[in-house]
Amino acid sequence: MLIQFNFKNFKSFREEATLDLSAAKMTEFSDRVVAIGSEKILPVAAIYGANASGKSNIYNAFEYMSDYVVNSFKYGDEEEKFEEFRPTPFLFDSISANAESGFEVYFIFPGDKSERTYNYGFCINKEGVTEEWLNSKAKTARKYSTVFYRGTSDEELDLSGFPKNSRDNIRVALEKQVLIISLGAKLKISKCKAIRDWFVANEFADFGNPFTNFFMSHRLPKDFVESKDVQQKVVEYFASFDEHIKDFKIEKIPSDGEVKEDTYKINALHKMIDSDRMAEIPLGMESAGTLKMFALYPELQEVLEKGSVFFIDELNARLHPLLVRNFLLTFLNPEINTNHAQLVFTTHDTWQLSNQLLRRDEIWFVEKDKRGVSALYSLADFVDEDGYRIRKDESYEKNYLLGKYGAIPNLKSIDVFRED
């Protein structure tokens, strides 16, 4: 489970930002808090803010960290690839534009009986990796112990947490653009591979991106073509919001020799109102909301099975608020979410901004100041103008739209169309 994500000097976030999924000391919805090791962790984080405030940059920061962990071993051989994949710093002042960006996570492996906590992070600038570290803490320990630490020079390379042959292999192969975790996983070092695999298991969906929408809507659930049981599970999944789809008809499209992968024609079967026959409708002709829910199913299935983290940008796009609510309840219900999967999402959907659904520490806001600098803060930590913290019985939605918590657009009338 993800406990905390920190990042700095990335896009609109100049200062360090912290997304903390550890539970604060509060009484609401205590049954959903997951106690693992010495940690108490939340299943959901909802991020609100105005357009262009920087909400998506939180999603982008975690996605960037994950991609770099998985792929950085490739960049030592080809510096051009590194040039393309360097992080984008805060560009609106000269110091930050040339400074390093940093990314850090605290987490626990799903299903780890030892319940050990890990802290992993790295800093990177225009030249390559400037710092990287991995620490771990036993369930009963008070302090973290070092697995490895890497600074800017060879003298600052501590690999004491690895076996000697692994240390030698890393020292020989490590390059400035490459992360130790990425290289170590490639070298089949178990500790590195475990960290890398934790990042790989997490899922991402950017529904503000039309290419993502198209790709995901064409991705089939695991074993969907071969298994009627899987197809029936998808029908049951649809039935939670639309009972009209009764089954699927799948036909393999003959290959023309140029396409290597198998392709299929999928029709949704609807019951006709005047007979017991079924009407066939190409899946692509279903509503945008239905296609989005179909696109979400494979990732949702994998995340719930693995107990990993699902990051979604613009979850509310093309979905009814009650459908979004139903989706959230999948993660909030311990009887369904038995493997402690987590959902981190950005949204403009204020229907979900309710004390009947979310805890104060599950609600986050992003606000951008006049300089273009974004800041991230939790409703649980927010203090009003009178110096009081927000009560759990407040109307979060009403107060947010009134501007009590900040993170809303600063609107002016659109005078450009006014006639002189």
| pLDDT at residue 304 is higher than 90 | yes
Lowest pLDDT segment from 11-25, 150-164, 260-274:
260-274
| pLDDT at residue 259 is higher than 60 | no
Q: Where are the beta strands (DSSP E) in 126-197?
A: 129-137, 145-150, 157-158
In this prediction, residue 85 carries a pLDDT of 87
Mean pLDDT, residues 341-347 taken together: 97
Residue from 122, 16, 21 nearest 374 by CA? 16
| pLDDT at residue 173 is higher than 80 | yes
Phi, psi dihedral angles at 138 (to 5 degrees): -70, 160
Q: What residue ranges of the chain are covered by domains with CATH 3.40.50?
A: 1-202+308-420
**Paired tokens of 242:** 């639309």
In this prediction, residue 65 carries a pLDDT of 98
In this prediction, residue 214 carries a pLDDT of 63
Task: Give residue-wise pLDDT tens across range 175-199.
Answer: 999 999 999 999 999 999 999 999 9
Domain 1-202+308-420 fold: Rossmann fold (3.40.50)
Counting residues of the chain whose pLDDT is more than 90, the rounded percentage is 68
Rounded to whole angstroms, what are the CA distances from 285 to 216, 217, 221, 319, 404?
Answer: 15, 12, 19, 16, 43
**If pLDDT is split at 50, 70 and 90, which confidence band does 239 have?**
confident
CB half-sphere exposure, 316, CA atoms < 13 A: 14
In this prediction, residue 393 carries a pLDDT of 92
In this prediction, residue 260 carries a pLDDT of 63
In this prediction, residue 103 carries a pLDDT of 98
Unique residue bearing structure tokens 């992003």: 366
Mean pLDDT of the chain: 91
In this prediction, residue 212 carries a pLDDT of 62
pTM: 0.91
| pLDDT at residue 243 is higher than 90 | no
| pLDDT at residue 373 is higher than 90 | yes
Task: Give residue-wise pLDDT tens across range 392-408.
Answer: 999 999 999 999 999 88
Task: Give residue-wise pLDDT tens across range 80-131.
Answer: 778 888 999 999 999 999 999 999 999 999 999 999 999 999 999 999 999 9
Within 8 A by CB and 6+ apart from 24, the residues are: 360, 361, 380
| pLDDT at residue 236 is higher than 70 | yes
Q: How far apart (Å, rounded) are the C-alpha atoms in residues 358 and 372?
A: 29
In this prediction, residue 264 carries a pLDDT of 83
Lowest pLDDT segment from 33-47, 50-64, 206-220, 273-287:
206-220
Helix axes 190-201, 55-71, angle to 10 degrees: 140
| pLDDT at residue 416 is higher than 70 | no
**If pLDDT is split at 50, 70 and 90, which confidence band does 244 have?**
confident
Contact 328, 32 (CB under 8 A): no
